[in-house]
Amino acid sequence: MAYVGFNSDDIVEGNIVRGVTSTVFSNSSGSIVVFHTSSAQVASDAGKFQWDIYNLATSNASAEVQFSVAYGSATGLGTAKQTGATDGYTPSRAVYSQFRQLLLNDNSESTRFIMGDNVSCDKMFFLTMNRARYKQGLNAGNWEINLSSSHTSNVFGGILGTPLKLIDDSSVSNGETVNGHLVYNIVSGSDANGVYTDGSSNYHHWGLFYPQLGILAFNGNRVITGSGAAGSTTYGLDQGEASDLAYGTGSNTYDTMNKVMWHAIKNGGYFAARSEEDVSSTHFFVRAKNQHFNYSTNPTYQTGSNGQLKHQSFIQNPQTFITTVGLYNDQNDLLAVAKLSKPLLKNFERETTIRVKLDY
């Protein structure tokens, strides 16, 4: 096999296309409406830290993890300490500390997540997209998640009987950079109607959105209320008599808080999102000159142990057809393959230039 190197003028860098979006969920789906957990993980020690959420029941071989939910408490409430752990250091405290170090500038133990309306949060729910689901990040302004309880008297920010619809505020804000990561506020609203404001033009703040990391961080106190009073006007999901939204704040007790958030998502029944990436293009001009690529190593081209041409008419006038272009590195390792739409005739009387566009 002969290899032909590229000259400097054979390679042209193309423009970078910014913000190319695509579907984020399995099977090229733009949304997911049914949410499953793994009973094996839920029952394991790992389940005390986070729950993976699947698009299908895990008994289905096609089931894939779409995202995970985790509960974090700055003081360790809602979970019991692990065997051998220091008192007070529970899974919920570990989760809060992990995300604090990743997302906030100050990672000292006294630091709390601060919402867009300056509310300090010591209890948080974290929704983290599976890394395989998105590319460079989630597309800001192009996602919506619905949350709901199963109680008939749900109250969501004073709106009775409707699911809590959440989006980010990128349509009205440029966001800010915290610890090197872009962050927007999670607010009331929908893809269809945009950001919701009340009569005083105030936004309802529910959490923080980190598009580059694929993380939605929710104010735990605000999303799931602790009053338990059916029909109350508490800001958030009224748990009422719904056991699936029982908000636990026990000290050194496992209150399955991951289940609380999973049920709110499951009952809401809608999560739509898109991934985003910048696509770079490079154009390779593959030049097949008249003396190159006129012979083939295909067994049908030769005959006998000496590699003689099978067809006498090919002597001094070989004919080949180019069907594939391979791009190799300096060690002759194949890196990329381009297929032509139809075979291209090549002989000593013909030259051709094939343009290969590589997007990455």
Q: Report the C-alpha dihedral over residues 116, 236, 100, 187, rounded to 10 degrees.
A: -40
- Of 36-45, 155-164, 306-315, give the lowest mean pLDDT range: 155-164
Which of 296, 287, 281, 288 is closest to 358 using CA atoms?
Answer: 281
- Of 60-74, 80-94, 233-247, give the lowest mean pLDDT range: 233-247
Residue 230's pLDDT band (boundaries 50, 70, 90)? Answer: very low
pLDDT digits (tens, 9 = 90+) for 243-290: 445 556 666 666 788 888 898 899 889 999 999 887 778 888 988 888
DSSP string covering 232-262:
---SSB--TT-GGG-----SS----HHHHHH
| The pLDDT value given to residue 242 | 40
Say which residues have a Cβ less than 8 Å from residue 227's Cβ, sequence separation at least 6.
234, 238, 239
Decide: residue 172, CB within 10 A, 0-12 exposed, 13-18 middle, 19+ buried.
Answer: middle
CB contact at 8 A, 215 and 138: no
| pLDDT, mean over the chain | 82
DSSP code, position 87: T
Compute the residue count for the chain: 360
What's the token pair of residue 50?
């986070």
The whole-angstrom separation of Cα 183 and Cα 166 is: 15
| % of the chain residues with pLDDT over 70 | 79
Sole residue written with tokens 């008249």? 290
